[in-house]
């Protein structure tokens, strides 16, 4: 039975978290890098979606640099398509929350939803919404529910605001192919200090650290026209739990130590870590990621970061629910796991392995602990079938040990 269970869980992980052999083919172009040209790909749903090049090395684009990358197009007499924050006409909210409809409008004069058709006399040299400069770290775990710099409307599939979850990162694997450098998506992760990422062990197990890149501040993977550009850092060291079980995914936790720290800014901030043993039963939490929108071969990887609100499920209830699945009546939920979800059509199929599950810090508005790390599940979005996450509070002693050994300052993730 034990061998059968390990094999079964292995199969579950490979399907639910999309860590199968088709992963690179499905989403390689989402994080594709080619500094010299634009490229396009055909998504699994058959739609042609253009992708813009992204930096290959550690790159911070200044507002001036980003301005030079834009080739403004005419959209009428004495009009140009410019980033919304560079247009000063009366239709723009100048309070700092420029409202952007992210739905594709084929009749719109500007192709990019982040651009606005602006009368040339109203075109500005400096943004209506101020460019956000690096900020002093003001504490971990602060969500930006209204976004950073602008606010979107028209969400049809739980899109996150730009900068809403500033700890969310993408873990990429760098490969060379026919003279180009490709950044292939591996999984998600969370920033816990300027140069440390918390992710799942199954994402980075037996990976070469020098081939991995962490991207922070990402939102829409098809554009570099966001008000603040993302930043990339190379990974120096991978450390995963010594008792990690790659079959059943017990102790599914890893730390990535970076070559250089990220710069703290509004869309790049660390998440708080909960005290050891902290309980989150019945809390309403968020999972985020760029993962599939549905389970199975018809699922499509997401372009804009998605968020899903989920309830944490009490341990005994979760185990009972999972015993009603193909795991069978003898399944035992390991103490290193926490469960969330069980609501129809809402699950971490919309996230990725390694991505964070964050829950509110009691008594503090818009502040969050990382309660879990996306690990595995049975199918996706089935009613009364919760998703399973590595429990950060249960694994906190191991995390603290590894950070202490490397003299990492705990101030970054302690509320």
Alpha-carbon distance of 233 to 347, in angstroms, equals 29
Give me the pLDDT at residue 292, please: 57
Quote the tokens at residue 351. 């996230």
Question: Can you give the chain as a three-state secondary structure string?
Answer: CHHHHHHHHHHHHHHHCCCCCCHHHHHHHHHCCCCCCCEEEECCCCCEEEECCCCCCCCCCCHHHHHHHCCCCEEECCEEEEEHHHECCCCCCCCCCEEEECCCCCCCCCCCCCEEEEEHHHECCCCCCCCCCCCCCCCCCECCCCCCCEEEECCCCCECCCCCCCCEEEEEEEEEECCEEEEEEEEEEEEEECCEEEECHHHHCCCCHHHEEEEECCCECCCCCCCCCCEEEEEEEEEECCCCCCCCCCCCCEEEEECCCCCCECCECCCECCCCCCCCCCCEEEEEECCECCCCCCCCECCECEEEEEEEECHHHHHHHHHCCCCCCCCCCCCCEEEEECECCECHHHCCCCCEEEEECCCCCCEEEEEEEEEECCCCCCCCCEEEEEEHHHHHHHHHHHHHHCCCCHHHHCC
Q: What is the pLDDT of residues 271-294, one digit of tens each?
A: 999 999 999 999 999 999 887 555
Q: What is the pLDDT of residues 32-85, one digit of tens each?
A: 443 333 222 223 223 332 223 333 333 333 333 333 444 677 776 667 777 655
Q: How many CB atoms lie within 10 A of CB 231?
A: 21
Q: Which residue would you say has higher pLDDT here, 102 or 268?
A: 268
Alpha-carbon distance of 242 to 124, in angstroms, equals 56
What's the pLDDT band for 254 if we cut at 50, 70, 90? Answer: very high
Alpha-carbon distance of 53 to 216, in angstroms, equals 16
Given a cut of 80, is residue 109 above it in pLDDT? no
Q: What is the pLDDT of residues 378-413, one digit of tens each?
A: 877 788 999 999 999 999 999 999 999 999 988 888
- Max CA distance (Å), the chain: 74
Alpha-carbon distance of 345 to 358, in angstroms, equals 19
**38 to each of 19, 279, 401, how far by Cα in Å?**
27, 47, 45
Give me the pLDDT at residue 154, please: 60
Bridge partners (DSSP) of residue 159 are 306
Given a cut of 90, is residue 147 above it in pLDDT? no
Domains and CATH numbers, the chain: 71-122 (no CATH), 151-412 (2.40.10.10)
Q: Kindly state the average pLDDT of the residues 127-136.
A: 52
Q: What is the pLDDT of residues 309-318, one digit of tens each?
A: 999 999 999 9
Look at residues 142, 254, 141, 156 and name the one whose alpha carbon lies nearest to residue 199: 254
Quote the tokens at residue 267. 């869309």
Q: Which residue would you say has higher pLDDT here, 367 or 114?
A: 367
Residue labelled with tokens 């070559």: 259
Best mean pLDDT range from 39-48, 51-60, 124-133, 297-306: 297-306
Q: What is the pLDDT of residues 213-247, one digit of tens each?
A: 999 999 887 777 677 889 999 999 999 999 999 99
């Amino acid at each position: 039975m034990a061998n059968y269970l390990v094999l079964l869980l292995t199969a579950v992980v490979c399907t639910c978290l999309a860590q199968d052999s088709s992963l690179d083919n499905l989403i390689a172009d989402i994080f594709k890098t080619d500094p010299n040209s634009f490229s396009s790909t055909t998504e699994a749903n058959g739609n042609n979606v253009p992708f813009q090049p992204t930096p290959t090395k550690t790159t911070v684009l200044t507002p001036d640099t980003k301005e030079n990358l834009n080739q403004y197009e005419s959209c009428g007499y004495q009009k140009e398509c410019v980033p919304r924050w560079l247009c000063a006409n009366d239709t723009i909210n100048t309070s700092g929350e420029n409202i952007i409809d992210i739905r594709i409008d084929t009749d719109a004069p500007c192709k990019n939803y982040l651009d606005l058709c602006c009368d040339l006399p109203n075109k500005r040299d400096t943004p209506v919404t101020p460019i956000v400069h690096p900020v002093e770290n003001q504490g971990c775990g602060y969500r930006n529910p209204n976004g950073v710099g602008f606010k979107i409307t028209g969400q049809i599939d739980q899109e996150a605001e730009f900068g809403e979850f500033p700890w969310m990162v993408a873990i990429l694997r760098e490969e060379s192919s026919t003279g180009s450098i490709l950044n292939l998506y591996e999984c998600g992760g969370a920033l816990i200090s300027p140069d440390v990422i918390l992710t799942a062990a199954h994402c980075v197990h037996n990976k070469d650290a020098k081939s991995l890149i962490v991207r922070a501040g990402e939102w829409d993977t098809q554009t570099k026209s966001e008000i603040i550009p993302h930043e990339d850092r190379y990974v120096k060291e991978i450390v995963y739990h010594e008792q990690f079980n790659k079959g059943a995914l017990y102790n599914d936790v890893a730390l990535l130590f970076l070559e250089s720290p990220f710069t703290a800014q509004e869309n790049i901030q660390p998440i708080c870590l909960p005290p050891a043993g902290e309980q989150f039963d019945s809390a309403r939490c968020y999972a985020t990621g760029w993962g599939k929108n549905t389970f199975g071969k018809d699922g499509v990887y997401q372009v804009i970061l998605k968020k899903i609100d989920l309830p944490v499920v009490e341990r005994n209830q979760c185990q009972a629910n999972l015993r009603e699945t193909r795991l069978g009546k003898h399944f035992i939920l390991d103490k290193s796991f926490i469960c969330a979800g069980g609501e129809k059509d809402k699950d971490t199929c919309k996230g990725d392995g390694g991505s964070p599950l964050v829950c509110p810090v009691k008594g503090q508005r818009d502040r969050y602990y990382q309660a879990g790390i996306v690990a595995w599940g049975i199918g996706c979005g089935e009613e009364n079938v919760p998703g399973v996450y590595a429990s950060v509070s249960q694994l906190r002693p191991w995390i603290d040990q590894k950070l202490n050994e490397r003299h990492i300052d705990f101030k970054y993730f302690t509320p």
